[in-house]
Amino acid sequence: MTGMRFTPKGYGGHRRDSEQVRRDGWHELHMLAVSLDDHRLTWPERELVRQLGEKLYGKLPAVKEVRRG
C-alpha cells in the first residue's frame, strides 16, 4: 500500500488559523471578512463595517435580552 493517498492533494498537514484564512482571502481574492467585535477596530470603523454589512446583506437579527427574576 505504498504511495496510496487517503486525502486529496493539498489537504492534510498544517491547518491555517482563522486569522490566516482571512489574511489570505484579502491578499488572494480581494475579499474582506471582518467581525464587528474585533478589538483592533475603533468605534467609527465598526460602525462603517456594520453599515456596509446592512447595505449588502440586510440588518442583523434583533438580539433579545434574557430577563431573570
pLDDT tens profile 15-67: 889 999 999 999 999 999 999 999 999 999 999 999 999 999 999 998 777 77
Model confidence at 1: pLDDT above 60: no
The pLDDT value recorded for residue 2 is: 59
Backbone angles phi, psi at 20, to 5 degrees: -70, -35
State the pTM of this model: 0.64
CA angle 65, 49, 67 (to 5 degrees): 5
Q: Which residue has the higher pLDDT, 14 or 56?
A: 56
Domain boundaries, the chain: 18-57
Model confidence at 11: pLDDT above 80: no
Model confidence at 3: pLDDT above 90: no
